[in-house]
Amino acid sequence: MSSAPRPHYTAFRSRFLAGDVLLGTFVKTPTAHANEILGGVGFDFVVIDEEHAPFDRGTIDLALLGARAGNIAGLVRVSDTGRLLAALDDGATGVLVPHVDSATRAAEVVALCRYRGGQRGFSNTTRAGGYGGRGIWQHVDAQDSEIAVIAMIEDPHALDHVEEILATPGLDGAFIGRGDLTVALGASGMESPETRSAAERILAAAGKVGKPICIMVASAAEAADWKALGASAFIVSSDQGLMRMMAAKVAADFAPLAKAPA
């Protein structure tokens, strides 16, 4: 029985904007292999975590190459906006930008990621430009249409401006940073009433301006809950978390053998 071919990784932005249900995970191990595997099993995207994992320009470059090999959208969570250009030139399909807490900040981020009407430094001799294979305006148009720019809303004071932030032209959507919100709010956990209220406030604002939302979840059941509230892209664990989960299961399955008589 044949199955429909998977969408090309460059379709991520259009699928995200259309509100398609998308499955991704964080990648924290500086290698290309995890992305190839995740693409091979059917994940839609990975977020290469430059903010909280040991990635540098070289390892991000290799990880993005692995994403292309696995036909999976490779996004990069940058540690600061000074890292955006490198990620995009190396072939990122999109970026997650932490701590976007105002419309002014959102507009600055968008400008750094867009050519037309923006301030992105030009080069088409990069992986993103086919190493010179794309002409100037072919490269400009392709990048401006394919790159997803996603703001991370994770600061309590951003909630008072969330509709303005999400309405920023050129900003494609937002990721709800429940971890940071939980810590900043002094809440008991990500499912606390305070954190949930903040997340629902962001989702409501996104609905008003027609922007998609990505959120991290622990399971498909939890994703269904947030989908009912308007989220459409879901990040589950990380490459390290998934490996730890499976390794723990295998270790538990084998534990009785050590106790069994020879």
Active site residue ranges: 52
The answer to whether 93 touches 75, Cβ cutoff 8 Å, is yes
Contacts of 131 (CB under 8 A, 6+ apart): 125
Sign of the CA dihedral with 82 first, then 44, 178, and 103 last:
positive
Quick one: DSSP state of residue 112?
H
Distance CA 78, CA 56 (A): 10
Distance CA 166, CA 19 (A): 15
Nearest to 34 by CA among 262, 239, 260, 250: 239
Contacts of 241 (CB under 8 A, 6+ apart): 25
Token pair of 184 as six digits: 């900043």
Quick one: DSSP state of residue 173?
E
The answer to whether 15 touches 7, Cβ cutoff 8 Å, is yes
The amino acid present at 195, given as its one-letter code, is: T
Helices (H), 94-219: 103-113, 136-146, 162-166, 178-185, 193-209
Distance CA 71, CA 93 (A): 11
3-class secondary structure, 118: coil
